Structure 1
Amino acid sequence: MALIDARGIPADQTSVDRLAAEGLDYRVVDTEDSARLTAFQRAMARGFLGGDPTEAVLAEGAPTVRSRRGIGVYERGADSGALPVATIDSWVTPLTIPGGEIDMWAISGVTVAGTHRRRGIARSLLEGELRAAADSGVAVAGLTVSEATIYGRYGFGAAVPVSHFTVDVRRAGWAGPVPPGRVEYVERERLAEELSAVHERARTTRAGQVPGWAARWAGLGGLASNESDRDKVRGVRYLDAEGEVRGVLSFALSERGDSFRFSLHVRLLVGETPEAVAALWRFAVQHDLVDEVTADLRPVDDPLPWLVTDPRGVVQVVHDHGWLRILDLPTALMARRYSAPIDTILRVEDALGFTAGTWRLRVDEAGAATVEAGEEGSEPDITFDVSALSALYVGGVRAAALHGASRIDASPASVVALDRAFAAFPAPSLDIWY
């Protein structure tokens, strides 16, 4: 089924009216107008504390911005070249969930100028996106965030945790296999293509993943003009015993002081098979002259700690990354598959009203769900707000943890049943920013 083109969705009228009362103009940006496009790009760069983009950076970024629905907030009467005081952009993309995929309203580029804080602009941006998504029939919204304290108030839950690894390679050693096949270098001009192709095949095997896009792969491959370390980027690929490319690694090396010893930073390691992942980790951990390997956005069940001789040489820090927000509860819950049967009554609290109510969730032995509105007056087995349900959605967060944090009100037996049903295998992950 074709994805909805978010660019055709009009600006949310509630946000238009709310900001008009503040003397601000909230509107969809005409990115075919070069002056407005450039102003929008410059405002996003400023909002993320980046330098003013060069002509080359603007030109490289234009196709991505034009492919999305950009919203700008402007001072009333601003001319076409004026920078918006706030930005946000969005598009509809597949999200891998247990058992398949669901359309997700992806949100990015959220900025508010330092001169316009505390005027309700961020609220209008986020709520406007959620209303636009819901009105378009998209059941789930998602984003990756620079600040983790903002988005829960809009119903988002930190649904996809990831790992950051720091490896002392001299201590860690290597105890893993020597996979069949071979690892070979890839020139940067080819690296972006290889990353894109392997990632697209691999992402459907792990919940939480979304597709990348051309500019994302160019950046990870060291081809983007705004990449300060682009000349340090290197790439290798793993070919299996039949000569098929099954994994790709983009990395950069930096010298540690003046000792001619180096750190290797993994920019992206993507593999279709366990052999590919192990082969690429082996390349990184056993690289000549390297004392330390770092990598972020890795799955929480990554095999790395089990591939080395001394697992204490691997420091694993788990942190939030992918945030999700359910907008259409029956559609979202019936789209995924479950790991155990359950028959329960949920009461969901949602300040924005999208999912609020009492619902009966039934999952059969095959893992298929049906969801119906609960009968009036029925007592819930489980009560939580939509951010907690959204955190559970793809199976990367344990219901027991949320219950222990008083985010779920339920009996211990109901929590166990919920945990067993929602758990996903392998662990959900998300290896890019969007």
Structure 2
Amino acid sequence: MTTSEKASGGAGESDRAAFRAGPVDEQSRVRLTANGLDYRRVSIDEDEFASWLQAVGRGFLDSERSAEQIASIRERSGYRRVTGVYDPAGPMPEVPVSTIASWLGDLSVPGGALIPSCAISAVTVSPTHRRRGIARAMLEGELRAAQAAGIPVAMLTVSESTLYGRYGFAPAARRAGWRIDTKRAGWIGPRPDGRIDFIPRERVRELMPVLHDGIRHLTAGEIDVPGSHWDNFAGTTPTAEKAGEKRAVQYTDVAGEVRGAAIYAVHPDHDDFTKAKVSVHYLVAADDDAYAALWRFLLELDLVAEVSSHELSVDEPLLWMIADQRAAKVSVFDHQYVRIIDVVAALETRRYGAAGSLVLDVDDALGLSTGRYLLEAAADGSARVRALDDGESVEAVTVSLGIAELSATYLGGVSIETLVRAGRVAVDAKGAASTSEAVATASRVLGWHTAPRLSIWY
């Protein structure tokens, strides 16, 4: 079985366990040791995990974790590889000055395949230890550890969007934040048969992962969501914020099958009880009827003047289900960042928008993915990819780009044409009649017909 064939099926539990147990990167360890710092993995079963959690909370400006919260997080963290950097000379040598967590997850790519990906989270550096190369050592170390484990892609969501491009990450799936004036919107969408019912939060916790896993492969950018995230959405863990505010509903079709669910919170306006606001924490729909029924329910709630949601697609059908599109204020943000590590495995896993051949001349400052690659896409959307030998000449449109730019195109969220116009990519018309035709060819091949999306933070 080839690397790409293994990749297309997603990660197995043995692969996940091996990655969790893998050592820290030796190159980064030596670099940090030379600076008097200790770089090591952290056991979630030991007391050091509590100190690691407190450092993470401090890094994200959160309050200290209680003993109950630490116990709850420990119970739900078995899927993660946890790493810290420690300063033995400091007054609190048991508390890390830098943290990072990662796990092996499945990323959905154009065409419905899943690719094993290193999901990175909890990246912090103490303000007392800035500009000492710690973040660089940890992120480069995690990428090299992923490469050593045969993981083709890394991914993350970010608090500070300018930090990760230097490591080859690029925004590959954007999110849309919506605020809808319900009095103005007017529902003109479908009115499916079936029913909406309130359900306990414990029940929606059971439903959400099942519904999500049934459809996540249909949208590029989605991942297999760790169980702790569902606990937080549903408010069924001590670490969940304002759990008592959350309400849950389900949609059941005429055959009696649950096809969708939503969690939302109501924020009353005590000066005017007709102007409450609703925030939608999560909505999952297995089909179009469930999608329409759930959104209609939310937009027609009594005494509610505004409905908001913040992890939606940039191409939501909802916009065409309301009579006045100006009732929706939509803001678009970068969200799912992707970093290709193994170009051949990553590109052979996804599908393509058109048939054609491209030479991809890839530059990677970290040296993980540098090379020239021939991509031959077939009419069915599949592709063969191989690294070209030094000096090997191929009569095909050549696209010269950095690994960040290639990663940005990976889920189909940005076109080569856009990146060319932005000065980020160069296209050689070799094999095409003109440069404009070459750019159009590259854009068609590397494009995809639907916008990518990620419905969570991690």
State the TM bucket, normalised to the shorter chain: over 0.9
Q: Give yes or no for the alignment of 1:417 onto 2:441.
A: yes
3-state DSSP of counterpart to 1:87: strand
Task: Quote how far apart the aligned CAs of 1:319 are.
Answer: 1.1
Determine if contact 1:108/1:144 at 8 Å carries over to the other structure. yes
Q: Give yes or no for the alignment of 1:42 onto 2:54.
A: yes
How far apart are the structure 1 equivalents of 2:336 and 2:269?
A: 32
Match of 1:184 in 2: 197
Match of 1:394 in 2: 411
Q: What amino acid sits opposite 1:74 in the alignment? A: Y
Match of 1:60 in 2: 72
How far apart are the structure 1 equivalents of 2:82 and 2:439?
A: 41
Task: Quote how far apart the aligned CAs of 1:77 are.
Answer: 6.7
Task: Quote how far apart the aligned CAs of 1:344 are.
Answer: 1.3
Moved more, 68-77 or 175-184: 68-77
Q: What amino acid sits opposite 1:56 in the alignment? A: E
How far apart are the structure 1 equivalents of 2:229 and 2:83?
A: 21
Instruction: String of CA shifts for 1:137-156, please: whole Å, max 9, x gaps.
Output: 10000001111100111000
How far apart are the structure 2 equivalents of 1:270 and 1:12?
A: 38
Q: Give yes or no for the alignment of 1:336 onto 2:350.
A: yes
3-state DSSP of counterpart to 1:180: coil
Determine if contact 1:382/1:414 at 8 Å carries over to the other structure. no
How far apart are the structure 1 equivalents of 2:416 and 2:184?
A: 36
Q: 1:141 to 1:419 in 2, by over 3 A?
A: same
How far apart are the structure 2 equivalents of 1:87 and 1:74?
A: 9
3-state DSSP of counterpart to 2:326: helix
Unaligned residue ranges in structure 2 (runs of 5+): 1-10, 428-434
Instruction: String of CA shifts for 1:160-200, please: whole Å, max 9, x gaps.
Output: 11111110111111111101211111111212111122111
Map 1:332-411; keep pairs closer than 5 Å: 332-377=346-391, 378=393, 381-410=398-427, 411=435
Q: What amino acid sits opposite 2:436 in the alignment? A: P
3-state DSSP of counterpart to 1:381: strand
Match of 2:450 in 1: 426
Q: What amino acid sits opposite 2:12 in the alignment? A: A
Task: Quote how far apart the aligned CAs of 1:257 are.
Answer: 4.8
Match of 1:124 in 2: 137
Instruction: Return the match for 1:288 from 302, 315, 332.
Output: 302
Instruction: String of CA shifts for 1:52-106, please: whole Å, max 9, x gaps.
Output: 0111211111133332111100013789981111100111111111221110011
Q: What amino acid sits opposite 2:102 in the alignment? A: S
Task: Quote how far apart the aligned CAs of 1:209 are.
Answer: 0.5
Determine if contact 1:394/1:422 at 8 Å carries over to the other structure. no
Q: 1:176 to 1:129 in 2, by over 3 A?
A: same
How far apart are the structure 2 equivalents of 1:310 and 1:289?
A: 20
Q: 1:79 to 1:369 in 2, by over 3 A?
A: farther
Determine if contact 2:193/2:254 at 8 Å carries over to the other structure. yes
Determine if contact 2:73/2:239 at 8 Å carries over to the other structure. no
Instruction: Return the match for 2:284 from 243, 255, 270.
Output: 270
Match of 2:5 in 1: none
Determine if contact 1:60/1:215 at 8 Å carries over to the other structure. no
Instruction: String of CA shifts for 1:352-403, please: whole Å, max 9, x gaps.
Output: 1111111111111111111122343348611110001001001122222212
3-state DSSP of counterpart to 1:246: strand
Match of 2:160 in 1: 147
- After TM superposition, the score normalised by the length of structure 1 is 0.96
Determine if contact 1:36/1:81 at 8 Å carries over to the other structure. no
How far apart are the structure 2 equivalents of 1:259 and 1:335?
A: 54
Q: What amino acid sits opposite 2:403 in the alignment? A: V
Instruction: Return the match for 1:197 from 202, 210, 222.
Output: 210
How far apart are the structure 2 equivalents of 1:227 and 1:258?
A: 28
Q: What amino acid sits opposite 1:329 in the alignment? A: V
How far apart are the structure 1 equivalents of 2:239 and 2:360?
A: 47
How far apart are the structure 1 equivalents of 2:24 and 2:232?
A: 30
Which structure 1 residue ranges, 4+ long, deviate > 6 Å from structure 2? 77-81
How far apart are the structure 2 equivalents of 1:133 and 1:287?
A: 47
Match of 2:175 in 1: 162
How far apart are the structure 2 equivalents of 1:40 and 1:94?
A: 26
Task: Quote how far apart the aligned CAs of 1:256 are.
Answer: 2.9
Match of 2:313 in 1: 299
Task: Quote how far apart the aligned CAs of 1:299 are.
Answer: 1.2
Task: Quote how far apart the aligned CAs of 1:412 are.
Answer: 2.5
How far apart are the structure 2 equivalents of 1:366 and 1:79?
A: 61
Determine if contact 2:339/2:407 at 8 Å carries over to the other structure. yes
Q: Give yes or no for the alignment of 1:92 onto 2:104.
A: yes
Instruction: String of CA shifts for 1:210-236, please: whole Å, max 9, x gaps.
Output: 011221111111223233421110011
Task: Give the % identical residues.
Answer: 39
The two structures, once aligned, show a CA RMSD in angstroms of 1.6
How far apart are the structure 1 equivalents of 2:178 and 2:415?
A: 22
Instruction: String of CA shifts for 1:235-280, please: whole Å, max 9, x gaps.
Output: 1111112111111111011023521121010101111111111111
Q: Give yes or no for the alignment of 1:322 onto 2:345.
A: no
Determine if contact 2:196/2:252 at 8 Å carries over to the other structure. yes
Q: What amino acid sits opposite 2:188 in the alignment? A: A
Map 1:215-254; keep pairs closer than 5 Å: 215-254=228-267
Unaligned residue ranges in structure 1 (runs of 5+): none
- After TM superposition, the score normalised by the length of structure 2 is 0.91
Alignment: residue pair count: 433
How far apart are the structure 1 equivalents of 2:169 and 2:296?
A: 37
Match of 2:7 in 1: none
3-state DSSP of counterpart to 1:19: helix
Determine if contact 1:36/1:80 at 8 Å carries over to the other structure. no
3-state DSSP of counterpart to 2:76: helix
Match of 2:188 in 1: 175
Instruction: String of CA shifts for 1:20-74, please: whole Å, max 9, x gaps.
Output: 11110001112221x1111111111111110001112111111333321111000
How far apart are the structure 1 equivalents of 2:75 and 2:90?
A: 25
